Amino acid sequence: MEKGKISSLQMAVMMYPTIVATAILSVPSITGKYAKTDLWLSPILASLIGYVTVYIAYKLHQLYPKQTVIQFSEHIIGRFAGKIIGFLILFFYIQGTGQITRAYAEFIVDSFLVNTPISVIMASMIFLSALVVRGGLEGLGRAAELFLPMFIFPILLLIILVSTDLEFKNIFPLLEDGITPPTKGAIVPGAWFTEFFLITFLLPFLADRKKGMKYGMMTVFAVMMTLVVVNLVVLFVLGPATSSRVYPLMQIARYISIADFFEHMESVVMAIWIVGAFVKISVFYYAATLGTAQWLNLSDYRPIVWPLGILTVSFGFWSLPNTMELARYNIGAFPPFGLLIQTMIPLFLLVIAVIGKRNRKRVDSS
């Protein structure tokens, strides 16, 4: 079905913007509401879920090296139950692709293209992603490699430009109310870290499979450090006002003014958002398309790329009416849903698979 091969490094390059893209704009505000001045600790605590998720995904991959979760779930718990699990996972990723596309479009409309219909922005992004997905995994990996510098450089540029305005005293007091507030602030970012389970759709196609866990763990660390740095920069610039901003990074970009030349750097944030959202949507889109084809026992996933694209736009357009509902979904519904689908169910499958393997060894030895 998928003939292409990617390296472990390409997998890491694909997963980094997939996690960071949506988190980088809203995480400072969300964590700030709970953790306040300790918001920089929340990504560190949240990353623990990412490490566990990567470990689970890789261990399942070791047991079923040539299969994705849609395929090996049927081997672990039976065809009927496996189909149900596969449907839940696919529904999550198809709906999630629509939700991510809607979030991308809402940001663009609210901040820049205020008179452009949101459906046009969503459809254009899905169209571009569909072209990459139809090109196969190798094309997606190369696109991620190409766009990674365009994603990282604007972040570094923003940090450099605001470096003279950082108020380091904003970090105090440290842990004034104990570890509980940062832990509460880690719940929503933790849901983004569960998205590392997407590697289950990439690991079977690695040219160097033995390095899969190593690069997966390294990517979790890179994402964690990025969110820590962004949270600190936002805290040092905005202070207590961080939690009241919907997109704190955008506020920082508007705050920049150096020698009446570097001003209103909103376009930098827009570049981060567009590039990161493109990679993230494409990875989700690919996982949903490949998984659906495997669930339906098709010989090729390319014929269903366009129908799934239409379904994705429909999900994104009708399920979340505005930015406020999107924020409520990210805070209220997404964390438990993401943890269940991308960490708890895979953990259940891993436990059943390990127990089943041990029982088979005992039977064979007897």
* pLDDT tens digit sequence for 183-203: 998 998 899 999 999 999 999
Q: Which residue has the higher pLDDT, 319 or 131?
A: 131
Domain 8-335: assigned CATH number: 1.20.1740.10
Residue 1 has a pLDDT of 67
* pLDDT tens digit sequence for 235-279: 898 888 777 777 788 777 777 766 666 666 777 778 888 888 999
Residue 29 has a pLDDT of 86
Closest-CA residue to 273 (of 102, 19, 21, 18): 21
For the segment 309-327, the average pLDDT, to the nearest whole number, is 81
Q: What does residue 5 show for φ and ψ, rounded to 5 degrees? A: -130, 145
pLDDT-based confidence at 54, cuts 50/70/90? very high
For the segment 283-293, the average pLDDT, to the nearest whole number, is 95
| C-alpha span between 288 and 69 (Å, rounded) | 12
Q: What does residue 223 show for φ and ψ, rounded to 5 degrees? A: -65, -45
- Contact status, residue 2 vs residue 298, Cβ threshold 8 Å: no
The vertex-261 CA angle with 258 and 263, nearest 5°, equals 70
Q: Fill in the amino acid letter for 291.
A: G
| pLDDT above 70 (res 79) | yes
Closest-CA residue to 2 (of 334, 299, 335): 299
pLDDT-based confidence at 74, cuts 50/70/90? very high
Neighbours of 285 (CB within 10 A): 26
User: Considering the chain, what percentage of its residues have pLDDT values greater than 90?
Assistant: 48
| pLDDT above 90 (res 60) | yes
Q: What is the mean pLDDT of the chain?
A: 88
Buried b (16+ CB within 10 A) or exposed e, 226-248: bbbebbbbbbbbbeeebbebebb
| pLDDT above 80 (res 324) | no
* pLDDT tens digit sequence for 141-188: 999 999 888 888 888 888 888 887 788 888 888 888 888 999 998 998
Residue 30 has a pLDDT of 85
Two tokens, residue 94: 């198809």
| pLDDT above 90 (res 58) | yes
| pLDDT above 80 (res 93) | yes
Residue 259 has a pLDDT of 65
Strands (E), the chain: 257-258, 262-263
| pLDDT above 90 (res 316) | no
| C-alpha span between 263 and 273 (Å, rounded) | 19
Domain range annotation of the chain: 8-335
